[in-house]
Amino acid sequence: MALWTLFGLRAGRATTAWPARGDAHGQAGVLGMPRFDADKCRDGCRECADVCLPDAIQFRADGEPALDIDYGRCIACQLCVEACPTGALTASNDWALGVRERDDLRWRPADADANNDDGASPEQKLAAGIRRVFGRSLHIRHVDAGSCNGCESELQALNNPFYNLHRLGIFFTASPRHADLLLVTGTVTYAMRDALQATYEAMPEPRWVLATGTCAVSGGAVGGTYASGVGVDPILPVDVYLPGCPPNPAALIHALLMIVGRAEQHMRGGQLDD
């Protein structure tokens, strides 16, 4: 007969100390959103835009540089990095990309934006402060509104012993009545739209919405068909946008901690803080 308790004890502690200490976030090697260096971008070249299936890179006829890059549409497929002849787009391991304003996922030159606050309105800051004082736990109602199941696979991973989400006071709950956060994955298909809306309406206030994964942020590569929507935005107010295809567990944890005011936003104007 298997002695599971003994087996478990013998295995020792599997949980990482990250994010409190250390850097064992478990994402070694994971390729994230490509970085863009406008200085290296050559005029008139549009090879990256031509291979960008979700139109995250669009070629602009006027203006400098000639590219519009929207990380809210990026699926990190790396095809633009392979296509770029000048090294203006390079592979990276960037993943902590949760933002409060959708616009912060759109690339703009770093110096064009002197406003370096965390992107939160005074009301959001106050609300975050209140949450910090009165409670640090977070209960999540997840709704799959038409995903490929990649996001679900990573969300399920949050409860594995390595990430052990419970240690952070964050829990998934079955009932929207008990939930603080609506976590939505998928493009929002026509058939899931009403169920998503009903779940949101069943939640008590204050309530937050996390658009999780590129599909939920913008529809991504598979949005905008006869059956598929273009993300959560047109249907519900979104508090944090987290692109990624799918966002890895560490990125998910970062975005959840952002919701409860325990982590800072790291991306502004399509670029990460140094």
Binding site for other proteins (CB under 8 A): 1-2, 4-5, 7-8, 11, 14, 26-31, 51, 53, 75-79, 82, 91, 142-157, 159-163, 172, 174, 186-187, 189-195, 199, 220-222, 224-229, 245-246, 248
Q: Which is nearer to other proteins, 99 or 188 (CB)?
A: 188
Tokens 């110096």, residue located: 111
Tell the smallest beta-carbon distance from residue 2 to other proteins (Å): 4
Q: Which is nearer to other proteins, 119 or 220 (CB)?
A: 220
Tell the smallest beta-carbon distance from residue 186 to other proteins (Å): 7
Q: Which is nearer to other proteins, 29 or 63 (CB)?
A: 29
Q: Which is nearer to other proteins, 154 or 233 (CB)?
A: 154
Who contacts 133 (Cβ-Cβ below 8 Å, separation ≥6)?
A: none
| 3 state SS of 190 | coil
Tell the smallest beta-carbon distance from residue 109 to other proteins (Å): 28
Tell the smallest beta-carbon distance from residue 41 to other proteins (Å): 22
Phi, psi of 103 (to 5 degrees): -65, -25
Number of H helices, E strands in the chain: 8, 11
| β-bridge partners, 106 | 70
C-alpha span between 188 and 147 (Å, rounded): 8
**Backbone torsion region of residue 170, taken as left when φ is above 0, otherwise alpha when ψ lies between -120 and 50, otherwise beta:** beta
Q: How large is the angle between the packed helices 150-157 and 249-259, nearest 10 degrees?
A: 70
Tell the smallest beta-carbon distance from residue 10 to other proteins (Å): 11
Please answer whether residues 209 and 236 qualify as being in contact, where contact means their C-beta atoms are separated by less than 8 angstroms. Answer: yes
Tell the smallest beta-carbon distance from residue 110 to other proteins (Å): 26
Please answer whether residues 66 and 60 qualify as being in contact, where contact means their C-beta atoms are separated by less than 8 angstroms. Answer: yes
Q: Which is nearer to other proteins, 124 or 197 (CB)?
A: 197
Tell the smallest beta-carbon distance from residue 226 to other proteins (Å): 4
C-alpha span between 250 and 26 (Å, rounded): 8
Q: Which is nearer to other proteins, 119 or 223 (CB)?
A: 223
Side chain identity, residue 24 = A
Q: Which is nearer to other proteins, 134 or 226 (CB)?
A: 226
Who contacts 171 (Cβ-Cβ below 8 Å, separation ≥6)?
A: 137, 138, 139, 140, 165
